C-alpha cells in the first residue's frame, strides 16, 4: 500500500496570504505532508519567496522581483491583499521558510528563474545541502536549461520536472521525456493527465505530482489514475476529506 500525500500549494493559501510564513505555518499545523513555494532572486542576490514575476498582485508595491533589492521587497505589505487582518505580513526569504519548516515537512521548491549562469539553482541547492534537507526537499523546474543546470551542479538534490511544451497533451509527453533525460525523481502533471501517462511515469520510477485539486472527491479521481502527491490550496479541506494517510494498492 502507498500513501497519497498532500502538498500545500504556496502554503495554506486559501486561508492565508500565499507564500508567507503564516501560510506555511498553518499548512504544517493542519498536517500537510509537503509545502510548495516559489523562488526568485532579488537584485542584490537574496532568495525571495514569491510566485509572480512582479509584486503587484500580492503586495502594495510594484516592480519585478529581480529588479528590486531585498530591502525594497521587505518593506512591502504582502498581507493587505488578503484583508486588513493580515496587514503587515512580509514576503519571506528562503531561509525563513526553511526555519519555519524546521525539517517537519517535505519541501517542494519551485525555482521560477534559473538565474545568471544557474545562480539561483545553485544557491538553493547549496542551502539544502548545508541544512541537510536533501532527504526531504526537491526542486521543481520548468525549463530544460534549469533541469540541466541542476543535474550538472547538484545531482544529489532531487528534481521535479514541471510541465514543459505546447498544448497540454504534448506538454505532458514532452515533460516525461525530459524527466527521463535529466534523471528526475518526480514529475508534476496538469489536470489533463491520463492514467496511461501516470503509468508511464511510474515505469520510469517517477513520483507523480498533480497540480491541482481543492476538493476531496475530485482528488480521489486522480488517486484512481495513480497520482502520488496532490498540490492543493486548502490542505485542511483535503486532509479533513480523507487525504490524511489515504492509500491505494
- Neighbouring-strand partners of residue 38: 110
Helix 21-29 to helix 94-101 angle (10° resolution) is 20
- Per-residue pLDDT of 95-141, as tens digits, reads 999 999 999 999 999 999 999 999 999 999 999 999 999 999 999 99
Residue 1 clears pLDDT 50, i.e. is over it: no
Give the model's confidence band at 245: pLDDT under 50 very low, under 70 low, under 90 confident, else very high.
low
Q: Are 225 and 199 in contact (CB under 8 A)?
A: no
Q: Rounded to two decimals, what is the model's pTM?
A: 0.96
Q: Mean pLDDT for the chain?
A: 95
CATH topology of domain 2-39+104-242: TIM Barrel (3.20.20)
pLDDT in tens, 150-162: 999 999 999 999 9
User: Residue 18's Cα: distance from chain center in Å?
Assistant: 12
Q: Which residues contact 73 (CB under 8 A, 6 or more apart)?
A: 42, 46, 48, 50, 55, 61, 65, 91
Residues 6 or more apart whose CB falls under 8 angstroms from that of 102 comprise none
Could you tell me if 22 and 96 are in contact, meaning their C-beta atoms sit under 8 angstroms apart? Answer: no
Question: Cell triple for residue 126?
Answer: 547549496
Mean pLDDT of 180-196: 97
Q: What are the extents of the domains in the chain?
A: 2-39+104-242
Q: What is the pLDDT of residue 166?
A: 55
What is the mean predicted confidence (pLDDT) over 171-195? 96
Amino acid at each position: 500500500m502507498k500513501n497519497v500525500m498532500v502538498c500545500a500549494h504556496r502554503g495554506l493559501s486559501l486561508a492565508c496570504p500565499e507564500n508567507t510564513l503564516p501560510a506555511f505555518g498553518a499548512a504544517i499545523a493542519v498536517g500537510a505532508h509537503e509545502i510548495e513555494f516559489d523562488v526568485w532572486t532579488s537584485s542584490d542576490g537574496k532568495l525571495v519567496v514569491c510566485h509572480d514575476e512582479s509584486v503587484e498582485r500580492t503586495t502594495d508595491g510594484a516592480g519585478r522581483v529581480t529588479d528590486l533589492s531585498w530591502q525594497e521587497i521587505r518593506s512591502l505589505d504582502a498581507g493587505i491583499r488578503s484583508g486588513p487582518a493580515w496587514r503587515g505580513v512580509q514576503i519571506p526569504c528562503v531561509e525563513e521558510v526553511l526555519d519555519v519548516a524546521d525539517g517537519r515537512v517535505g519541501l517542494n521548491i519551485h525555482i521560477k528563474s534559473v538565474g545568471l549562469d544557474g545562480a539561483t539553482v545553485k544557491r538553493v541547492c547549496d542551502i539544502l545541502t548545508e541544512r541537510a534537507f536533501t532527504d526531504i526537499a526537491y526542486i521543481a523546474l520548468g525549463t530544460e536549461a534549469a533541469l540541466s543546470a541542476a543535474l550538472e551542479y547538484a545531482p544529489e538534490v532531487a528534481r521535479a520536472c514541471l510541465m514543459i511544451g505546447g498544448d497540454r497533451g504534448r506538454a505532458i509527453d514532452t515533460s516525461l521525456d525530459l524527466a527521463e533525460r535529466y534523471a528526475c525523481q518526480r514529475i508534476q502533471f496538469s489536470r489533463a493527465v491520463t492514467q496511461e501517462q501516470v503509468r508511464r511515469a511510474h515505469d520510469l520510477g517517477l513520483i507523480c505530482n498533480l497540480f491541482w485539486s481543492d476538493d476531496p472527491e475530485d482528488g480521489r479521481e486522480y488517486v484512481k489514475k495513480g497520482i502520488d502527491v496532490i498540490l492543493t490550496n486548502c490542505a485542511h479541506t483535503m486532509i479533513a476529506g480523507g487525504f490524511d494517510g489515504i492509500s491505494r494498492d
